[in-house]
Amino acid sequence: MAEQKILFGGTFDPVHFGHLIIARSVAETLNARRVVLIPACTSPFKNAPVASAEDRLSMLQLATEGEELFDICDLELRRTPPSYTIQTVEQLLREQEGGEETEFSLVIGGDMLADLPKWHRVDDLLRQVRVLVVPRPPFSRADVEQEIAAMQGKFPPRPAASLNKPVISTPLIDISSTEIRRRQAAGLSIRYLLPEPVRDYIVSKRLYAPV
């Protein structure tokens, strides 16, 4: 039986408990032994990260230190922009050649689903990975399922099969990196929103503080 690996990308600006809880929940649901966290350099669909690539990578390392479940892949940070998910998946598949058979599942948030048809080489991507969609506030499971049904005709049949029953139930954690940055800039506490070593790093480096 192929090993299950979960690919979980994001800007992680900063990484917080919502990311980690959802990633662990998906892994437990699929009985996967590894979650690969993939910090993005920049996303075509989001604003540029506030913290540097080096700082975001350091915060991920602090957040997952001692956790066997998590691996960190910095391919996209080392690649000259623009960097696309399909390139990362193809590189990871090449690295698996000759080794243990691996099946990759790509986790995306419900808020990103509407942009999926616009992703670079999305048909190729959907041939290589199974897509798992995690509802996140303000989008409910029903919202996500409706969006998936509406987009089924936008892909050829084989790639569209990757979107068969993709919605996965996880705890609805209403924590966002945007809110953490806002609170930090306003001088409000960010304790209990993210791992303590990450909070200490943010404070010591004065990340997200008012200029």
* Amino acid present at 133: V
- Give the H/E segment covering residue 6: strand 3-10
Residue 41 maps to a domain: yes
- Residue 59 is given by DSSP the state H
**Full pLDDT tens readout for the chain, 211 residues:** 778 899 999 999 999 999 999 999 999 999 999 999 999 987 766 777 899 999 999 999 999 999 999 999 999 999 888 889 999 999 999 988 767 788 999 999 888 888 898 999 999 999 999 999 998 877 788 888 888 888 777 776 656 556 666 788 888 888 999 999 999 999 999 999 999 999 999 999 999 997 6
**100 Cβ neighbours under 8 A, 6+ residues apart:** 2, 3
Q: Report the predicted TM-score, pTM, of the whole model to 2 decimal places.
A: 0.91
Distance (Å, whole) CA 137 – CA 128: 28
Residue 120 maps to a domain: yes
CATH of the domain at 75: 3.40.50.620
Number of domains in the chain: 1
Q: Any idea how long the chain is?
A: 211
Sheet holding 3-10, edge to edge: 70-72, 34-39, 3-10, 102-109, 130-134
**210 Cβ neighbours under 8 A, 6+ residues apart:** 185
Residues spanned by the domain of 49: 3-205
Residue 79 maps to a domain: yes
Residue 211 maps to a domain: no
List the one residue out of 26, 133, 127 whose CA is nearest residue 70: 26
